[in-house]
Every structure is written in C-alpha cells, then in structure tokens.
Structure 1
Amino acid sequence: MNNDDKACNQDWLNLLFRLMNRTELSQLVVFVTVAQTGSFRAAADRLGIAPSAVSHAISMLEEHLGLRLLARTTRSTRPTEEGSRLLTRVAGPLAEIEVGFAEVTEAAGSPSGPLRITMPLHAVSELIMRRLPEFSTRYPAIELDIRASDILENIIESGCDAGIRLGESLEADMIAVRAGSPQRGLIVGAPAYFAKHPAPTHPRDLAAHNCIRRRFESGRIYRWELEHDGHAISVEVKGNLLLPQQELIQHAARDGLGLAFLFEETVSSDIRAGRLVVVMEEWCPFFDGFHIYYPSRRQMRPALRAFIDFFRYRT
C-alpha cells in the first residue's frame, strides 16, 4: 500500500470515528440498506420500519457528515460518489456484525434468519423450486430471499449472502460449490419450422434461418457459443424475435417461430415428445454447470451452510 492509499484509508477511518461519535449505528445501517436495495421503501420493508423513518435517518446522517450520500430521482435512489466510497468501506464490516449476531443466535438452535441468494431465473426454476418444499420443511426458520437476475451482482455490495452462477462466470476470488451437473445448450426447432426450412448442418447455415434471440437484463444480446473438435466460435445469429427468458424462447420455438438455443434439461421433455427437434448436436459441447458461490468460509452463518449442504450437487 502506498502513502496515498494509507492517507485515504486514514481519512475514512477518521470519518467513521466522527460518525460513530455523533450518530447512531442504526443510521449507518439504514444508509447501507438503502444503497443495496435502491429505494427508501424497499429498505423500510427489509428493516421493518416506516419509510419516513428511513428518510429521517438518511437526512440526519448526511447532515452530520456534511455530505450528500444518495442521489434521489423519481425512479431510483443511487449512492453519490461520496456515498459509494462510504458504502465500500462500511458494507463489509456491517455484514460481519450481522453474521456475528446471527451466529450467536443460531448456535442455540437450528439455522434461522434471513438468507439472501442471487441467481438467474433458470437456476431458480431448475435447481431451487423443485426441492424448495423439502428445504422449507427441514429449515422452517430460514427466511429465504431469492433474487432472480441475469446481472452478475457483487454479492457483498448487494447485501446477498451468496449467489448461483454458471462455473464459467465465477470470479476468481470466490469460493464455489458445484450445485448442478455439467450442462450444454442445444439448437432446436419445431417440426413445423423444419417443414418449411432445411435443417442447418454448420454454423454458417444459421445465417439463412430465423433464430430466436435472447436479450439479457443488461441489454446484451446473447451470441450462440458453439464448438466442434476443439474449435470454439461465437455466432451472432439473426431473427425477427427477441425475448428475455429461456421459458419464453422455448414456447416460441414450439410454436414454430424459429430456431432456439436452449439448455438441454429445459427442452428434454419436448425433444422426447417430438415437439422439438435437435440439429447440429455435434456443435453443442458440455460446459461447467451451476455453482453456489460466496466470498469466504470465515464466519459462515449456519443458514448459509445449511443452504449449501442441501443444494450442493451429488453424483
């Protein structure tokens, strides 16, 4: 760490000491919650207090510091530059305090309390929902809060305890536990579609087909990732329909609206029933499946440990 970094850290430590001497710790907790949820009302719901109490706490905190911490619009609430710096410094320590209280409480009984997990919608439907009744029966005191999002969130800054993502999307500093088997995507189309169009046999043939494309929450349109004999390519397919979720794309493909690139486990029943036909299977390799990821094994809450042990993949 250079001298500038040390000076910056000392400045923030001095700021925190000022804060702790002049305001309640609860106001800092309110600020972090608003920054993580993106709205005063959502923060109030999470904290179990009135929205007016949230607004008052933020106003008092900003007045004490002499800084504007949150930028408010009619649609969203985001940290200012100063607020982002404060959030980076204090979110981790406050989370560890929360973990400490939870550990003490849970040590006397079964795993309990809120557990926030972020994951894509596909993981919710394929990994969680089918086993959720058993999990809830075994751990009735755990309040499971599932955030369905295709955006790769920073789980520390978002206030989540863990996340579920494909293995290829995990950050190197995260601890990962396999939650599902290896997967692959398949190119499929309905018999009615192939009655009017010849089946493609090579990626270059896709240019002549109407392909149903997927747009992620970030706005990015997915490029079909194919591979054959160790040769990997990313294909920017064309088509007159864009949809945001695999389930909707699957429905459109069954209706004969075009070719789709979908997880094999999602379309397996349609393939067996003859509602969808696989093409170019040799270009569809297996890849790393879903993993549960989290920042550290240190001070892991019993509720998170229970979730990981329950949903980990077992061959």
Structure 2
Amino acid sequence: MKLGEPTLDQLRIFLAVEEEGSFGAAAKRMGRAISAISYGISQMEAQLGVTLFEREGSRRPVLTDAGRGLLSEAQAITDRADALLAKTRSLHAGLESDLALVVDVMVPGDVIARVLRDFRTMFPTVGLRLQIEGLGAVAACLMEKESQLAIGGPVIADHPDFERQAIGTVDLLPVAAPGHALDRPDVKPGQSREHLQLVLTDRSRLTQGREFSVLSPLAWRLGDLSAKHALLKEGIGWGNMPRPLVAEDIAAGRLVVLDLPEKPGANYTFSALWRRDDKPGPSASWMIDAFRDALA
C-alpha cells in the first residue's frame, strides 16, 4: 500500500479534534465548518491507511490505537512548523536568527546563568552559541568572527576594531590557602616574588608576551580558572581571583585574602564589545543591557 502525505492543515485538524474532544468544538476553534473538519480527518485517514478516531456509538470521537501512536508525531511536526514561522516573522522584524556570544571567564557564573535564562524567555526563536574565554582570547573570537558580541575585560577593551560599552566590574582578590607563607600581617615589599604565583594565561596571540598582575618570577601559567581555583585551595601558590568565585571559600576558611604591599588586587572592568562593521541587533542589544544590570 502506497501511503500519502498528510498536509500540515490536516495535522492541525487532527490535533484540534483530539484536544477539543469533538468535531464541532474543533471547527469552532479553527473557524471552519464541521464538514471541513470531518473531511480533513477522512482525507488524512485515507492517505495514511489508518483510522484515527472511533466515531460510532459515541458522541465524543475517541482515538484509536493508531491515532494515539501518531499523536506525538503530529504534535512534533506542527511544533517545528510553528517554530519555523515564528523565526521567519522574527527575521522580517529584524531580529537575529542566532547570536554568537563570548564571555570573559571572570564574569561570575551565576550572572551568566541568570542573563541566559531571561534571554531564552525574551527571544525563544534566537539560537545561541556561547563560548567562555579569558583575556585576549575573548577579542580573538570577535576578530575571527567566531562571535558577534563579547563581554570582556580591560585587557582588550581598547582594541581599535571594536566598539565598546562599559557595563560593570568585579573585584580581584589576592588569595591563598590558610597558613601560606604570605598569610601574615607583616609581609614586606618584594616577598610575594619569593613564592609561587598562579597566573591565568592568554591562549590567543593578541596579547602574546604581555603579563597581567604577575609579581613573581616563580609562576605557573594556567589556561583554566577553575584549575587555578582548585590549586589555590590545595595550598599550591597564591593568585588573584574574582571575589564572587572565592567568597564562599573565604567565609568557610578554605582561602584567605592576602594583605600584600603591592596590592595586586584590582577592579576588573567588563565591557560589551562588538566589531565596528557588525552593529548589535535587537537580541544582542538586550544582552548588553542585561549583563550591565546583572553586574551592577
């Protein structure tokens, strides 16, 4: 038996009858005559070679086993069609079809999560591609057009190819495990150079060879902030960390803030950045405002 292909309209009729519980209610919902609803179901049954509803002996059409088996597939097809139409309407309205975002590793994770949760609610048709990078690698994503929007730190905020908008700051604190040699009130200038410092390294070429807040020649360079965090808690070296990431460890006594004469901690300023030849669209502009509010 050669099967036909039901139309999208027939699938919608099928779902309307099942959801409303009668041909009359489905007709009212869809603004059709009852005869049109009945005809649509009959045509779909003929094309698929199955009976979708038991009609005899009951005022209410009841799904057959075949009807129940096809219900979820029909729903999935109409859902995808609705998503396609919604995205098309968004494109006509100037909304991006997708947004490629790169975020500095120093941005607190809970801030990222809250912004992206609200983004999904505000822009359900916009696809999102997210990267988390550090230092110059954030700018590299923009330069190489892997991302359209960046939330980056001061290392790359002054790049001539970018437009930028300052949106907030995070405190960087010099920390170590309790009992570290620098965990004392009378540290002398230069003593920090005698101890292993853990440093977040740049994986891009844009800032290759540049050092940021590196005091000690005894340094381990790490490409992952979570690895640096774990080593600090194990008592391996000292280093600067964003306050939100270590606040619980400080409160619990797993890490201590070091009082160093050089005061290597600082405010790490975040900026929204985009290429001058790629102006932010509606969802990217919303994202900029959302990160600014979340970081305030």
Which band: TM-score by shorter chain? 0.5 to 0.7
Q: Find 1:166's aligned residue among 149, 153, 164.
A: 153
The residue that corresponds to 1:67 in the other structure is none
Letter in 2 for 1:265: P
Q: How does 1:32-181 map to 2 (within 5 A)?
A: 106=90, 108=92, 111-123=95-107, 125=109, 127-150=111-134, 151=137, 152-153=139-140, 155=142, 157-170=144-157, 171-180=159-168
The residue that corresponds to 1:190 in the other structure is 177
Give the CA deviation at 1:300: 3.8
1:159, 1:224 → 2: CA distance? 25
1:154, 1:218 → 2: CA distance? 9
The residue that corresponds to 1:244 in the other structure is 223
Letter in 2 for 1:213: V
Instruction: Give the alignment's Cα RMSD to 1 decimal.
Output: 3.4
The residue that corresponds to 2:198 in the other structure is 212
- For structure 2, which runs of at least 5 residues remain unmatched after alignment? 1-86
TM-score by length of 1: 0.53
- For structure 1, which runs of at least 5 residues remain unmatched after alignment? 1-102, 226-233
The residue that corresponds to 2:187 in the other structure is 201
Give the CA deviation at 1:289: 1.6
Letter in 1 for 2:166: R
Larger Rg: 2
Q: For the Cα contact (< 8 Å) 1:166–1:288, is it kept in 2? A: yes
Letter in 1 for 2:199: R
Letter in 2 for 1:163: A
1:299, 1:212 → 2: CA distance? 37
2:266, 2:201 → 1: CA distance? 22
Cα 1:123–1:198 shift into 2, 3 Å: closer
Q: For the Cα contact (< 8 Å) 2:149–2:272, is it kept in 1? A: yes
Question: Deviations along 1:232-278, whole A, 9 cap, x unmatched?
Answer: xx524414x44322221111111112212212222122112211111
Report percent identity of matched pairs.
18
The residue that corresponds to 1:301 in the other structure is 281
DSSP-derived class of the 2:130 partner: strand
Give the CA deviation at 1:202: 4.2
Cα 1:202–1:115 shift into 2, 3 Å: farther
TM-score by length of 2: 0.56
Letter in 2 for 1:138: M
1:286, 1:192 → 2: CA distance? 23
The size of the alignment, in residue pairs, is: 202
